[in-house]
Structure 1
């Protein structure tokens, strides 16, 4: 009988991931030579967990019910919680060796858990229990670490630029065409701010986001980090990046102090800016924050339109614990969640545009979801190979980058001082 899925509160136990990994690092990811489908006569119970809200829970509830109907010998116990509590709970479980059988997984944690043997190697199941040929190879690669497939993407998105037609109408200007030079985009933002008399702004200081620094590096043929997990830029280059926004901070973008006043909404979400760069799957959240009937999504600036600077980022992935007692059943559940057209219909693009072609066929995207898919299709020529899996501690460095960028905007620190602080913290985080 189906079990009602309910959220669980975070454990409140402050267990560091380092401690968890020390307890598990001696083990390797199993499953490399495995494969096959579950025994239909074996009674199995799987524990499955994800982060999200009640809407996502209701969708998973429907998907689990369909899976259990097709696999009457497998029961799936589902739990969910908010994102911070979710990863706190996983850290606690990792320390005790009790991760759930199947987990919704985030790209930024793949290296942390994968390189220490906490995730099942799914390589042996590919083509024998797990169908992956319906997923783009470059996207599928985001779930790989070295020669192991440790997670499978459920959906994908890419870096993008949103614009709000209602705010543009208020300012009396046309929308940004997308894909121009950075200087052209700076000038465009300034024109919006000037045309509105400062009532709304052309955009937000994009140098506060590490993803925009990454974008500029990729336009030069580099990633933020090397394959070995080392910083792939200099302190001087970072200071130069932050300094490059000096002019737009004065005449084009929303002041950092005003951003703090509307937090946790962004300037764009608060209808104070006409444009903002972020991941394409923010469409739904932006529509909710702004209350707008529609938003436009176009390509971000580039220094060279011929360079493949964008990449397909998994909005999330599914992974299996290396300690599961039922690997075949766990993989069968992932196969269902990834490839089932019925699951595609249930979720639409709420987990990102479906990664699998078969799930996408069932999704029948329309409205804002279709617009996101059309945007991703429009930038296909700019999609390149994804970077290596994020370094351990990437989330902390991303937050540091944002904090320092904000401090620069507030005038509390210089770009040179901020770059020094970033490298000092990175040395501790990366252990270099």
Structure 2
């Protein structure tokens, strides 16, 4: 659904689903001589509405460029972008996840943004964050914001349950006890089953002093590690402390189809900025708690670029694409509109100017991140290209556990075998 921004265009979950089929791509020229760029992203209706306003500002400042936009939930976006990239029809400008950069950079999909320095300024971005968008020394993507994972919870329901609210750091065992108590007191699962989430598994792994991948892009864990994780989550599901298999398999990357978004659980593990989508869905209000730690208090979560902007190597308008990326990162007006919907801004001057003005959920995200400053470990390197496919494999194999078709051990051994083969290919 390209290009036209009308009032309320992205004001509902219905609009989000209607946008699942992303726009046709490849920069072109309109009949009036304007440069036409396609720009796609994933997100919730709140992010979409703000993005549309920022694009309107860009078009006003750049009257010779028309930006045609589209968005979708994460899962639909990821699948569609993979199809477009394989067909040589990637969008001119695209939102990218940490896990997609290596795949698309090594596959020749992404433009070398280092060649567009005249249009794209990166001097005020933290050098460490900026480096996460490089592959083999080439700058293929620019981080848009800093984000981290969180346990989002329904404040009213949790308070009414009588279960003590989260207070700072807690271990996975303490988290599990709280989810059991919430289920008992509220009559619904305490959380979305984290067993299906590679992100949650990574947090758990890092809390044990391990990692998803080694520096040479091999698995950083064993089937025994994954068996322990899935045994833990399977036990919680069987006890009713986390979502049922039927509820979990409805997940599609949108907040609307999470158990918390449907009013079927009390909490959800998500990334902090995208959790803004819950504000329109949870009548009792939401709050953010840190992800659980290892038994000795070792944190597994980390600050990472919440997402990136990249451009197609096949775009016919590289300078215009770079100018759009620059505007979204560095323009004060765009920053004021976007707020923290993609994480806290990475441009240092913009961040310092924007943070004191943040209100509502943006303020919540900023305060949450500030509470974690200095406590989290260094982020891992961007995962290998095979990880994008392995996220789907991870969910598929855990489905076998949650539907009781395989034991945690059988599913873990199956996943590790497939993962090693994928990483060799």
Instruction: Please tell me the TM-score bracket, short chain as reference.
Output: 0.7 to 0.9
State the shift of 1:366 in Å. Answer: 0.8
The 5 A counterparts of 1:31-430 are 45-52=35-42, 59-72=50-63, 74-83=64-73, 86-87=77-78, 90-91=81-82, 93-95=84-86, 97-125=88-116, 128-194=118-184, 196=185, 199-245=187-233, 247-251=235-239, 253-257=241-245, 259=247, 265-292=257-284, 294-303=285-294, 307=298, 309-360=300-351, 361-362=353-354, 364-430=357-423
Contact 2:292 2:299 in 1 (8 A): no
Larger Cα-atom Rg: 1
Q: Deviations over 1:375-423 (max 9, x none)?
A: 1111112333322223224233223323333432333321111112212
Question: Number of paired residues?
Answer: 396
Query: What's the TM-score once normalised by structure 1's chain length?
Result: 0.79
Q: Deviations over 1:203-257 (max 9, x none)?
A: 3443332222211222344321123332111112211221234553454613524
1:338 is paired with a residue whose SS is helix
- Gap runs ≥5 in structure 2: 7-17, 25-32
Alignment CA distance shift 1:257-1:219 (3 Å): closer
Q: Deviations over 1:13-43 (max 9, x none)?
A: 9xxxxxxxxxxxxxxxxxxxxxxxxxxxxx8
1:268 is paired with a residue whose SS is coil
State the shift of 1:342 in Å. Answer: 0.2
Q: Which moved more, 1:344-353 or 1:243-252?
A: 243-252
The 5 A counterparts of 1:9-20 are 10=21
Q: Aligned partners of 2:162, 2:406: CA distance in 1, in Å?
A: 35
State the shift of 1:160 in Å. Answer: 1.1
Q: Deviations over 1:293-320 (max 9, x none)?
A: x211111111277756322233332112
Q: Aligned partners of 2:331, 2:107: CA distance in 1, in Å?
A: 31
Contact 1:11 1:88 in 2 (8 A): no
Query: What's the TM-score once normalised by structure 2's chain length?
Result: 0.80
1:253 is paired with a residue whose SS is coil
1:423 is paired with a residue whose SS is helix
1:112 is paired with a residue whose SS is helix
Alignment CA distance shift 1:47-1:217 (3 Å): same
2:269 is paired with a residue whose SS is strand
Contact 1:130 1:335 in 2 (8 A): yes
Q: Deviations over 1:115-142 (max 9, x none)?
A: 133212223555x543324333343233
Contact 2:39 2:70 in 1 (8 A): yes
Q: Aligned partners of 1:203, 1:57: CA distance in 2, in Å?
A: 26
Contact 1:256 1:410 in 2 (8 A): no
CA RMSD after TM alignment: 3.3
1:290 is paired with a residue whose SS is coil
Q: Deviations over 1:151-194 (max 9, x none)?
A: 11222321111222221233222212241222222222233334
- Gap runs ≥5 in structure 1: 14-42
Q: Aligned partners of 1:333, 1:280: CA distance in 2, in Å?
A: 25
Contact 1:135 1:356 in 2 (8 A): yes
Q: Aligned partners of 1:5, 1:173: CA distance in 2, in Å?
A: 44
Contact 1:307 1:382 in 2 (8 A): no
